[in-house]
Amino acid sequence: MTKRTRQAVTLLSALLLSAAAGCSAAGSSGAGPAPARLAESGKPTPTSAAGSPAARGFTLVASGDVLPHTSVIQRAADDAGGDGYDFKPMFSGVKPLVSAADLAICHMETIYGEEGGPFSGYPAFKSPPEVAEGLKDAGYDGCSTASNHTLDDGAAGLRRTLDRFDKVGLKHAGSARTAAEAATVATYTAGTAKVAHLAYTYDTNGYPLPEGQPWAVNLMKQDKIIADARAARKAGADVVLVSVHWGTEWQTEPDETQLSLGRALTASQTGGRPDIDMILGTHAHIPQPYEKVNGTWIIYGMGDQVAGEMFNYTGARDMRGNYGSIGRFTFAPPTAPGQRWQVTKAEFVPQMMDLSIGRVVNLPDTLAKNPDRSDYESAQDAISEAVLGRGAAKDGLTMAK
């Protein structure tokens, strides 16, 4: 597959929409303002010989939580040779996979500190801004940024993070610096599809939304998610992706909130067409299952992509906290106007954050070259068991590299 080229950002014309009252602290009711316009980036649309658009499918890659603990930050400092922080080597093992996709989405769980620091890990994270350069170099186009750590350093931390995203050319969904930005959906051109990306979190660890900024972080409310998805579709999105920071930490099986909300979101339709085309879950720290629900793929949890040593609720070191999966899906254009774009190939790629080398490892690819690595084989088996735990194989999900 040819590595995609980066294209200039273009702005679609605004489509003003109204919705119910704005979002407030977690647990309150009511839908937030529906996004009013799509901010699009991606490739120019090819045309056929006759001059009409030639429909073309695309591949999507999505990955889990980027959670730089103190040891991860130190590794990036070491990789920089004493001159700042370099996260590019950390992602080098998955760069071929990520950069080959037409659209690649990550999850930036933490916020960035000021240039040069100070930085911190758990419990209130402030990561080096150079993480963004590492993600961009790996081939990511954008990230979800709504998590329980989005407000670890208040509005200032949120702003620094999104400012750095702007600087390196990454788009974002789930947090915003202004009301206008919150009303603008992150949208990409992949193949000939306009792909909208929305993101939400279950909570912000008790940190209140900044005063006068109820739109700063998207909170997970069913009515709001559906309203936002419908607004994005009306504004021209062919495919709507929803990232959700949810679930119970250290629990492989999706909890009741994930199951019930997943059913409701995938059942929502307008004019017989699903409002949401895929759900990408994060937060649990360990790989969770993939499942096709109401004809729509849900990844309940991709696990951590980047993290330091992880300890579960018993206080024990838990290797699962360094396991994850990358989802890769191939979308094909609809066969008739008004129908949905179809997933024609569903794959997952087991990955592991190998702390001994400070690198994210593509397990199938690495095991093919180093079949004697029993630790990698055990990790791949555990990830596969979790991912396939709700019968996704019967719907065509396969392991790839």
Nearest by Cα to 332 from 194, 237, 191, 195: 191
Nearest by Cα to 22 from 187, 203, 228, 164: 228
One pLDDT digit (tens) per residue for the chain, 401 residues: 443 443 333 333 333 333 333 333 333 333 344 444 565 555 444 443 334 468 999 999 999 999 999 999 999 999 999 899 999 999 999 999 999 999 999 999 999 999 999 999 999 999 999 999 999 999 999 999 999 999 999 999 999 999 999 999 999 999 999 999 999 999 999 999 999 999 999 999 999 999 999 999 999 999 999 999 999 999 999 999 999 999 999 999 999 999 999 999 999 999 999 999 999 999 999 999 999 999 999 999 999 999 999 999 999 999 999 999 999 999 999 999 889 999 999 999 999 999 999 999 999 999 999 999 999 999 999 999 999 999 999 999 999 98
For residue 267, what pLDDT is reported?
98
Token couple for 216 = 């700063």
Nearest by Cα to 366 from 387, 347, 380: 380
Residue 239 dihedral angles phi and psi, to the nearest 5°: -130, 135
Distance CA 289, CA 275 (A): 22
Distances (CA, A) of 109 to 122, 140, 143, 361: 12, 15, 9, 20
Token couple for 199 = 């993101």
Residue 64 dihedral angles phi and psi, to the nearest 5°: -90, -160
Distance CA 296, CA 56 (A): 20
Instruction: Give the amino acid at 7.
Output: Q
For residue 40, what pLDDT is reported?
55
The DSSP secondary-structure symbol of 256 reads H
Nearest by Cα to 243 from 267, 263, 218, 223: 218
Token couple for 290 = 């993939």
**Under 8 Å between Cβ of 74 and 345:** no
For residue 39, what pLDDT is reported?
59
Spell out the alpha helix ranges (H) of 20-63.
Answer: none
Strand 58-66 vs strand 304-306: parallel, antiparallel, or unpaired?
Answer: parallel
What is the rounded (10 degree) CA torsion for 229, 231, 235, 239? 10
For residue 37, what pLDDT is reported?
58
Distance CA 165, CA 176 (A): 12
Distance CA 387, CA 151 (A): 30
10 forms bridges with which residues in the sheet? 40
- Domain annotation for the chain: domains and CATH numbers: 38-399 (3.60.21.10)
For residue 28, what pLDDT is reported?
33
Token couple for 61 = 């890659």
Spell out the alpha helix ranges (H) of 169-247.
Answer: 179-182, 222-234
Q: Which long-range contacts (CB under 8 A, 24 or more apart) does 364-371 make?
A: 364/399, 364/400, 364/401, 365/93, 365/96, 365/97, 365/401, 366/93, 368/401
Token couple for 331 = 């979308």
Token couple for 93 = 């093992």
**Under 8 Å between Cβ of 12 and 187:** yes
Strand 342-354 vs strand 359-362: parallel, antiparallel, or unpaired?
Answer: antiparallel
**Under 8 Å between Cβ of 243 and 107:** yes
Nearest by Cα to 90 from 312, 350, 360, 339: 360
Is residue 366 classed as helix, strand or coil in its secondary structure?
helix
